[in-house]
Structure 1
Amino acid sequence: MSGNIVTEQLTRAGQAIEHDSFAIVDREAGAHRYTGAQWQIVRRMIHATADFEFNGLTRFHPQAVQAGLEAIAAGAPIVADVEMICVGLSRPRLAHFGVQTHQFISDDDVIATARAENSTRAVQAMRKAQRVGLLDGGIVAVGNAPTALLEVVRLVEEAGVRPAIILGMPVGFVSAAESKAALAAIADVPWIVTDGRKGGSTLAVAALHALLALAEARAAERA
């Protein structure tokens, strides 16, 4: 593994552009209420969207960063609501920690069950993830479907499912804000949420990349 910890940029020119971009984010964001590690996540989300409202819209469970870093170091699986999140993640970084990504929203059995039960594919995909044993101890990342997040919250509350951390960042107008509020009300499972309607798979990817970078940095410090 190379020493390329903070950035995925492989050339000096690319690294300089990314460095300058983060410096602009830091300067224009101004004051914030986040810890140093939390800010690494929030500023990468801002960097990915050019939306400074995430400085404030992003909230963290007190144990979120620690739980995320421990889960990555342990090679916990990432369960996403859509394929876009899986595709957007750095393969070398995932491989470094032995982390595998999973999404089931387009599986034939998920589609068939959603039709039979008049539910959504996102709901059935999360139920499948639970059946195959990926949610307990896993990293759940929801960036698109509020119904996926609502189902994960239900599984936590009613079935005792315990993911290592849940990233709740669905975007939209129907149940998006409500699903994130429901997640933020959970005390015994760590989470990161973006309040309100704003969200998206790009944000989930950015937050996961920040956690992967922080996990790499921590591992390098301990080496």
Structure 2
Amino acid sequence: MQTKRGQSIEDASMQMIDDEIGIHYYNEKEWPIVRRIIHSTADFDFAGDNKVIFHKDAIQSGMMALKNGCSIVVDVNGVIGGLNKQNPKDFQNKIVCNISDPKIMEIAKKENKTRSQISMRSALSDIDGGIVVVGNAPTALMEVINMVKEGIVKPALIIGIPVGFICASESKEELSRLENIPFITNKGRKGGSSSASAIINALYKLVRAELSS
């Protein structure tokens, strides 16, 4: 819950973003998500050179999944840290992050893969029909894409916005080529846990607005 003062600061910040961006081409549900990312990062590139890209079914599918109590599988604990904790409680969404499990490290060493790859494989049952949120590790995103191509999972939504230099842009481009899986991603190297959390928080706001209308 926001205090009245906190809400007034947030509202003023959002108005500043609107004023600085001016004309944009996002629709009425896409823009609150992009604006939330900008608010979380103070980076206007997410509406510019590193613009956010939406699959045509992304928002509807993500909102429906959240309302239906889907699991949310994240690549790193930093994404969890940025979430409004009340939302998953209210909608009974299980948050899954296996990256710190010692068994994941053991398997990763044995198979010469990253922990992020193995942690995603280990969450197969939660990914299928759930929402995947990748804000840090491009290898996590690529692993989920491979799982989709193998036909072993069909997520309701993939949020792929990893930050970095090695395979970050490439993994996002690969995600954007998936035709039958809803996704939210962005162009370029920018991204990060705070951006990923912002997208989920914004989706929850859209869900609450829809339910209260």
| TM-score for the superposition, normalised by structure 2 | 0.97
SS of 1:197's equivalent? coil
The DSSP-based 3-state class of the residue aligned with 1:134 is helix
What amino acid sits opposite 1:212 in the alignment?
Answer: Y
For residues 174-193 of structure 1, the C-alpha deviation after alignment (integer angstroms, 9 at most, x for no partner) is 00000000000001000000
Q: Deviations over 1:147-195 (max 9, x none)?
A: 0000000000113410000000000000000000000000100000011
Structure 1 residue 125: Cα displacement: 0.3
1:99-143 CA distance string (max 9 Å, x none): 12110011111100000011100000000001xx10111000000
Structure 1 residue 69, shift from structure 2 partner: 0.5
* 1:73-92 pair list within 5 angstroms: 73-92=67-86
Task: For 2:208 and 2:159, locate their aligned partners in 1 and report how far apart those are by CA, in whole Å.
Answer: 19
Deviates more, 1:152-161 or 1:107-116: 152-161
| Aligned-partner residue type, residue 121 of structure 1 | R
Is 1:120 the counterpart of 2:114? The answer is: yes
Matched residue type, 1:165? L
2:126 aligned counterpart, secondary structure: coil
Map of 2:32 onto structure 1: 40
2:177 to 155, 169, 185: 185
Identify the residue that residue 58 of structure 1 maps to in structure 2: 52
Aligned to 1:5: none
After superposition, give the CA deviation of every residue in 1:196-220 in whole Å (9 maximum; x if it has no partner).
1000000000010000011011111
**1:154 maps onto 2:146 in alignment:** yes
Equivalent of 1:29, from 21, 30, 46?
21
- Please give the per-residue CA displacement for 1:32-85, whole angstroms capped at 9, x wherever unaligned: 111110000000000011111101410000000101100110011100000111
- Seq. identity, %: 45
* Structure 2 residue aligned with 1:19: 11
State the 4+ residue runs in structure 1 displaced beyond 4 angstroms: none
In 2, distance between residues paired with 1:152 and 1:22? 33
In structure 1, the partner of 2:159 is 167
Q: Does 1:101 align with 2:95?
A: yes
